[in-house]
Chains A and B, each alone.
Chain A
Amino acid sequence: MSSVESSGDGGKWLDAHYDPVAGLYTFSSCVDLADLSGDRESRLVVGDLGTGSSGMKLKVYRGTALISENTLLDLPAGLVAFFMDLHEPRIPAVAVASGPCIYVYKNLRPYFKFTLPSLDVNPLEQDVWQQVREGQIDPVMLKEMLESIRKKADIPLSIRSLRFLSLEADEADEFVQLHKQQPIRRQTVITCIGTLKKSTADEDGISCLVIGTESTDVFILDPEAFTILCKMSLPAVPTMMDVTGQFDVEFRITVACRNGSIYILRRESEKPKYCIKLSSHPVGLVRVGKNVVVGCTDESLQGFTQKGKKLWKIILPAPITTMAPMDLPTRGLQAVLVALANCQVQLYREKNLLSTIKTPDTVTSICFGRYGREDGTLIMTTKGGGLMVKILKRTAVFDDRDSTPGPPVAQSVRLNVPKKTKLYVDQTLRERENGLAMHRAFHMDLSRMRLAAVRAYVKALESSLTPISSSLSEPLKMNAVVQGLGPSFKLTLNVQNTASCRPVMNLAISFLYDDNLYRIRNPYMRIPLLVPGLIYPVETFVECTSDKGISDIIKVFVLHEEKSSPLLTAHINMPVSEGLMLN
């Protein structure tokens, strides 16, 4: 399967389905997998945002096909499938949160609509509108008064007043005429939704809905009567939540809020128990076991304990678009899927990157779970409205690669160091016993060697034997290459000026050789001006005149005009000429 290979995930996923023009525009909070018809085959339920102003739909996929579509009235903020009763067959209902309402669908038909209780209205505002209704004040006056209420009052204005304030003067009149007869109501909207098992931890136990609202409250709803069981308030507006536990026993709601904090709510406490202050805004919240993994806008992924203690933080290669948990209990795998803006989906267990999936487009929603009859299915929708389904191979193995900075993994691999031999031990013993004598002998040798080296070096410098000249005025370097089989050889001398900026001029090359053996075409050559750093190949041809099969050394001198001693000398061991021998 070439497409799997090219996706660069090491062949851990099978490409089950990819429809780049599925027209699904949604986020992770509006995607769920549920067995909607009780035939033990999971469907994909998606709250499609459409264009953002129209075309909002509740879509259900089975396999690769769209099997049902229901129009939604407003943009969905969240979608969950949950069991609301104990009837057989066990078919879950779908709750779609949009605006101030929750629409509950059963068997894909509208079943119930729950609206959040309205909030208190500012009495001053109410008075003002009352006066408008009685015609006591004109819209200009109304605007001024509402403006002053907005600035001072504790209870914020209603939507209607806010809308009025944002209008231009010419539209204001019409707006007032249209709306003044209705009483003012203040409604909040749902920002996030979750489910909480009521009394049993069974997979198909009855669940309560947990709702976070714009009014910084968290409500827990009874699934049968749709009454508010519990109300908790937060210091800020919740945006994402994760719920665990049972309502009747003990539960824990982890809420990420718009002020960049994460609050942890528990049973029997109206106020949050713990608070995690993040350094940037959260974009994804996933619970893995007892820990919470948060993705932030500063391209980091952070791990926290249940009590808000920070465990780790890693930096990601690109901004996060969405996150989802990947829980595969049959294989004991609990990990986090993180979609990035650079068209990658990375899988992390703790802080270790397990695998990377490359996608053709930026992924905006991820959902992992049972789809159809396959347990490990990864469903992704992309920015361009594509739908992608991948199936985890049963043979796929994820191994931890420690991606943290610090000592790399290779460092902990044991080197194949041979065992200490007895010989080695004996030698160290000798070293220990005769350390002083050895040290003295070494230093004496070293002095002698230094002397010998310096002598040879001076000799080499005096006769310019080295192929490198390090004199300050003409730092040069030369090396020679002989090519050919004979009797004709090509001799290439590569001359290079190693000074940093000064060119060298007035150089020439000449040779010293046995003229009984060799004939050189140009025994004296002038070298052009040498620009620093470039290699100048100087070529000539050498002819071997002997047929005896012997070879000799050719000495090459680089000379400077007006100087008697050469700058450089190179000795070329000529190869034996083979050419004449061939008959």
Chain B
Amino acid sequence: MEVTMDPLFLAVSYFRRRKLQQCSDICGKILQDNPYDQAAWSLKTRALTEMVYIDEVDVDQEGIAEMMLDESSIAQVARPGTSLRLPGTSHGGGPTPAVRPMTQSGRPITGFVRPSTQSGRPGTMEQAIKTPRTASTARPVTSSSGRFIRLGTASMLTNPEGPFINLSRINLSKYSKKPCLSRTLFEYIFHHENDVKTALDLAAQATEHAQFKDWWWKVQLGKCYYRLGLYREAEKQFRSALNQQEVVDTYLYLTKVYQRLDQPITALNLFKQGLDHFPGEVTLLTGIARIHEEMNNIPSATEYYKEVLKQDNTHVEAIACIGSNHFYTDQPEIALRFYRRLLQMGVYNCQLYNNLGLCCFYAQQYDMTLSSFERALALVASDEEQADVWYNVGHVAVGIGDLMLAYQCFKLTLAFNNDHAEAYNNLAVLELRKGHIEQSKAFLQTAASLAPHMYEPYFNLSILCEKDGSYGPTRQAGFCKQLQQHFAVL
């Protein structure tokens, strides 16, 4: 005789093992039999939430609207070292952009791609709406659409028969009085349905019901306000929650608010305050390091990443960032160590092999260089990655003097990524060596138009034009002026 397990218990067990789809199916069956089973209802909302759950702390990308239509900015030019919006102000110590490549916004390229590392703030509207090269998608219009829509609209794509909970019909005030249901419902609304306004209503009623004594609801309110772009209100809620209960998450949310308000110094102070209560907390340390990195203060960022590694020696971001910093400060052999460590930890992807190949080349471990690139080529997941690998192989080819191979590699880079400005620039130099001046000039112009933040194409083009005797384009496009500005910044 077969003993059937209690379906709810089975569902809980599935949930614990993160077999969320099965859990949701079983809960659905239970609810069909008994629509008023609160346990099953609650479990199903949790399972559905978990399916699309993303860490609210990490995922954050500033949209065009926030950047271009910023209401809270007061001074157009902030004092150096107090703003995230002035990437040019270096604190010294780090390598110059001539050594370490920069992103479009003028920040040095980091070792670890996070949503906010790619872009920074563009200078013009046109730059803002252009598709950036490093991200394969365009920037979201506002942070309340974009990425969150894509991540949070599971219901739209997967549930053809309609949503599990019909939000328009739900009686929020009834649910807000049931603490055991209201929280799961809130998370469902916030993460799964991505309906921030309804979530805010629910949170407001629930916190009122809890007589403003529940820090959790305050944090949720703050999250809602943050999503809606009401940063000052969010700050108030998070501050109040912190007064009630010291939680690491709350610190992180609050620093996010301050970063959005462009107050990196306040954010840093808050992180340090958090570290007093939670000494050695990895997420707080990482946060400090990230802010330092965004403010171009690479040496102190590296210090904090090292601190992170002391607490958690498998922290991928810290290892990658320290590794890339060593690479760009002329110590490829140490960078190699860090990347090997990543490999030992089981990170196995194209980018890592790509970096390993470059480190091996510059650390003169030639026997491993090309095999690393071969592996990277075997592991590519997208055209962009393939383009990057070919670009690096091209660099190695230039290094060993095989210009034919280099030419092919840069051409391949462009075949896979039409907007690779660096490859255009290098190809132009190779074309010039062959004596194809017109082609070379065309490539340099393309590189300059694709990547206005790079100074190399301007430099090469002005030299070419000078040799050529045609001063027109150099002056016309204001290349000289731009060059001067570029060098003044360095």
Contacts and interface: CB of A to CB of B under 8 A. Distances in A.
Does A pair with B? yes
Contacts of B131: 481-483, 573, 575
A438 B370 contact: no
A581 B408 contact: no
A113 interface: no
Given A418-B331, A477-B446, A481-B130, A453 B408 contact: yes
Nearest to A575: B138
Nearest to B445: A535
Given A457-B411, A479-B419, A533-B442, A452 B377 contact: yes
Nearest to B331: A418
B140 to A, nearest CB: 6
A467 B414 contact: yes
Which has the most chain A C-beta neighbours within 10 Å: B145, B146, B150, B363? B145
Given A452-B374, A457-B408, A578 B140 contact: yes
15 contacts: A421-B333, A431-B364, A438-B367, A445-B367, A448-B374, A449-B373, A449-B405, A468-B427, A483-B131, A496-B446, A533-B441, A535-B445, A575-B131, A576-B138, A581-B149
B450 A479 contact: yes
Interface of A: 417-418, 421, 423-424, 427-428, 430-431, 434, 437-439, 441-442, 445-446, 448-450, 452-454, 456-457, 460, 465-468, 470, 475, 477-485, 494, 496, 498-500, 532-533, 535, 548-549, 551, 570-573, 575-576, 578-579, 581-582
B439 A421 contact: no
A572 B418 contact: yes
B393 to A, nearest CB: 6
A80 B379 CA distance: 89
A448 B408 contact: no
B129 interface: yes
Contacts of A417: 330
B412 interface: yes
A411 B366 CA distance: 30
Interface of B: 64, 126, 129-131, 136-138, 140-141, 145-146, 149-150, 153, 156-157, 329-331, 333-334, 337, 363-367, 369-371, 373-374, 377, 383, 390, 393, 400, 402, 405, 408-409, 411-412, 414-415, 418-419, 427, 436-439, 441-443, 445-446, 449-450
A405 to B, nearest CB: 20
Given A445-B374, A478-B418, 14 more contacts: A423-B333, A424-B363, A431-B364, A441-B366, A448-B370, A460-B411, A466-B412, A479-B419, A483-B129, A500-B437, A533-B438, A575-B137, A576-B138, A581-B146
Contacts of B449: 479, 494
A501 B383 CA distance: 34
Nearest to A440: B367
B366 A442 contact: yes
Given A431-B364, A449-B393, A467 B415 contact: yes
Closest 3 CB pairs of A and B: A575-B138, A445-B370, A441-B367
B128 to A, nearest CB: 10
Contacts of A581: 145-146, 149
Contacts of B442: 477, 496, 498, 533
A465 B415 contact: yes
B166 to A, nearest CB: 18
Interface centre among B138, B334, B436 (most CB of A within 10 A): B138
B364 A442 contact: no
A448 B375 CA distance: 12
A449 to B, nearest CB: 5
A535 B150 CA distance: 37
Given A427-B365, A449-B393, A475-B439, A466 B370 contact: no
Contacts of A579: 141
Nearest to A458: B408
B393 A453 contact: yes
A456 B141 contact: no
A439 B366 contact: yes
Contacts, number: 157
Interface of A is mostly: mixed
B366 A423 contact: no
A465 B416 CA distance: 8
Given A532-B438, A576-B138, A442 B330 contact: no
Contacts of A494: 446, 449
B418 A479 contact: yes
A453 B412 contact: yes
A454 B408 contact: yes
A452 B408 CA distance: 11
A502 to B, nearest CB: 11
Given A437-B367, A445-B367, A423 B334 contact: yes
B439 A456 contact: no
A578 B370 contact: no
Nearest to A426: B333
Contacts of B377: 452
A498 B439 contact: yes
B409 A576 contact: no
Nearest to B438: A500
B125 to A, nearest CB: 10
B330 A418 contact: yes
A576 B411 contact: no
Given A454-B408, A466-B415, A477 B149 contact: no
A380 to B, nearest CB: 33
A558 to B, nearest CB: 12
A487 to B, nearest CB: 12
A475 B443 CA distance: 12
A454 B443 CA distance: 22
A492 to B, nearest CB: 10
A551 B370 CA distance: 34
A571 B383 contact: yes
B138 A485 contact: yes
Nearest to B337: A423
Contacts of A446: 370, 400, 402
Contacts of A434: 367
Contacts of A484: 129
